[in-house]
């Protein structure tokens, strides 16, 4: 086994140790959110996490020692090359790169466009050790076959017809989208197979119960009545017409366009859930005003609690307790920037009193981003409008019971159509993406929103 093999094994062992440590840390965070948390359970999980930490340190030390040994070997080899006369140098058999009947690393007959080489260049940049090894072997083969050409002092400008630009299509940068964080967090239902309206019966007049005044008197009676909640099924769609040449002669053009259409479909749906006139969350939520010319996170938080109180008061025994706070990323980071010297009188499950909340450090769109001081999960969604209010620079914070925000979608949505005939005479291909959905936040009028001049564009001053 060579030193390079030992280094590769050490890197694999370090990656495994890092993965194990990450899993232990995630398990510790999940445990701390358990309402029945005990100190013994936390201590046991911390011990396991610390053991994983120690294993990462041990594996890193072993790898560093091997890399230092490799660097020293390279220094010795370079010193030997400078001090040994050329006529007397006789490299060992296994230190010479030979090209005979062995296959080249990258063969033109198997990879005419050089896609394998391009992928390895991109993967090596991202830290793929196997890709780096293949590229190193390829350069050794090139030095053996064309060493004299590689060392000539001629710039690439002398070979404009041979040194061609490369396009790393695997690393294309898609257009960034807000996507659908809120839609993924609320209560989802399969859309019925037929109809363009979804109807729900709401009991708006309930029965009554009261004490009987006298024996044999009639007991209390109130006739129940309902009101029909009719929810329209909406259709969302988008299209793109491509030339046949771009599809047949391009690299991944069709899949890139479809990916963009799918993500824009998701962004549109999520934005409608929040911002659509009359039925969107902003339109149906009851406002909790926060008016302040010099807003602070400490002053905002009581308004959030007021809104959550209103959610529970509206739902009473229908409250699930699975509340959500939905806000723009600028508001989430502004709340994180605040520093405080006071702690809440009542601590919450999974929250250390001095911390006043928790950040899970999740990436955008990956679910719950953290917890407010009262343990309410936070969904960060950049479909939340930031041009509200008289100054068109305010955003809003939405407080809801997630089980009372309903979304109906086709299981396979969005669908797409690939049509060639309509544009056949111009060699065009039409790609159409569409889907049906329905939603309501009004089965119970429970949603609240914190809004007002206290939610203008934030300044990050630590308050």
Q: What are the mean pLDDT values of the chain's consecutive 10-residue runs (463 residues total)? A: 81 87 82 74 84 89 87 81 56 53 73 74 75 83 68 68 80 92 96 95 94 94 94 96 93 92 96 97 97 94 96 95 96 89 66 72 91 92 97 97 96 91 91 96 96 96 85
CB of 216 within 8 A of CB of 251?
no
Q: How far is CA 137 from CA 110, 130, 146, in A?
A: 17, 11, 14
8 Å CB contact between 244 and 425: no
pTM exceeds 0.85, yes or no: no
Q: Are 397 and 326 in contact (CB under 8 A)?
A: yes
Sequence-distant (≥ 6) Cβ neighbours of residue 1 within 8 angstroms: none
CATH of domain 180-347+354-463: 3.30.2400.10
Locate the DSSP E strands across 104-153: none
So what's the pLDDT on residue 151?
A: 57
Instruction: Report pLDDT for 85.
Output: 54
CA distance 88 to 107: 36
Q: Which residue is it, tokens 């997630």?
A: 402
Q: Report the alpha-carbon distance of residue 102 to residue 111 in Å, rounded.
A: 17
The beta strands (E) that lie in 318-394 are given as: 323-327, 358-359, 370-371, 377-380
Return the pLDDT at 356: 66
As separate numbers, helices (DSSP H) first and strands (DSSP E) second, the chain gives 10, 14
**Structural domain spans, the chain:** 180-347+354-463
The values of phi and psi at residue 8, to 5°, are -60, -40
User: CB count, 10 Å around CB of 87?
Assistant: 6
Calpha distance 120→136 (Å, rounded): 11
Return the pLDDT at 162.
74
Q: How far is CA 425 from CA 39, 177, 283, 417, in A?
A: 73, 34, 47, 19
């Amino acid at each position: 086994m060579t030193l390079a093999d030992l280094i590769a094994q050490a890197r694999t062992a370090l990656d495994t140790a890092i993965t194990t440590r990450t899993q232990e840390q995630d398990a510790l965070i999940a445990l701390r959110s358990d309402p029945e948390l005990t100190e013994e359970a936390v201590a046991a999980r911390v011990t396991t996490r610390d053991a994983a930490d120690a294993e990462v340190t041990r594996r890193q030390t072993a790898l560093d020692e091997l890399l230092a040994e490799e660097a020293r070997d390279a220094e010795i080899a370079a010193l030997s090359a400078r001090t040994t006369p050329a006529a007397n140098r006789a490299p060992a058999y296994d230190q010479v790169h030979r090209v005979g009947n062995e296959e080249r690393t990258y063969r033109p007959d198997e990879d005419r466009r050089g896609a394998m080489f391009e992928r390895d260049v991109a993967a090596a940049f991202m830290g793929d050790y196997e890709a780096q090894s293949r590229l190193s072997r390829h350069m050794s083969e090139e030095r053996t076959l064309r060493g004299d050409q590689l060392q000539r002092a001629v710039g690439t400008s002398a070979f404009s017809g041979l040194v061609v630009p490369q396009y790393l299509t695997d690393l294309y940068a898609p257009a960034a989208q807000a996507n659908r964080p809120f839609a993924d967090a609320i209560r989802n239902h399969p859309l019925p197979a037929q109809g363009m309206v979804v109807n729900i019966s709401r009991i708006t007049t309930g029965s009554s119960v009261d004490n009987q005044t006298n024996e044999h008197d009639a007991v209390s009676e109130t006739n129940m009545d309902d009101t029909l909640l009719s929810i329209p099924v909406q259709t969302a769609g988008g299209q793109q017409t491509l030339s046949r040449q771009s599809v047949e002669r391009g690299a991944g053009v069709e899949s890139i366009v479809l990916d963009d259409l799918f993500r824009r479909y998701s962004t549109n749906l999520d934005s409608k859930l929040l911002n659509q006139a009359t039925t969107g969350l902003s339109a149906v939520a009851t406002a909790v005003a926060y008016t302040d010319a010099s807003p602070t996170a400490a002053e905002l938080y009581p308004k959030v609690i007021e809104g959550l109180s209103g959610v529970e008061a509206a739902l009473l025994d229908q409250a699930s307790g699975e509340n959500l706070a939905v806000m723009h990323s600028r508001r989430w980071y502004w709340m994180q920037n605040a520093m405080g010297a006071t702690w809440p009188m009542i601590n919450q499950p999974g929250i250390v009193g001095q911390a006043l909340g928790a950040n899970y450090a999740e990436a955008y769109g990956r679910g719950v981003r953290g917890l407010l001081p009262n343990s309410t999960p936070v969904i960060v969604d950049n479909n939340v409008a930031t041009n509200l209010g008289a100054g068109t620079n305010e955003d809003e914070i939405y407080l809801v019971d997630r089980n009372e925000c309903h979304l109906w979608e086709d299981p396979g949505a969005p669908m797409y159509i690939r049509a060639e005939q309509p544009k056949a005479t111009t060699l065009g291909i039409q790609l159409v993406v569409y889907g049906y959905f329905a939603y309501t936040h009004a089965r119970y009028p429970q949603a609240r929103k914190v809004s007002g001049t206290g939610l203008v564009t934030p300044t990050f001053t630590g308050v």
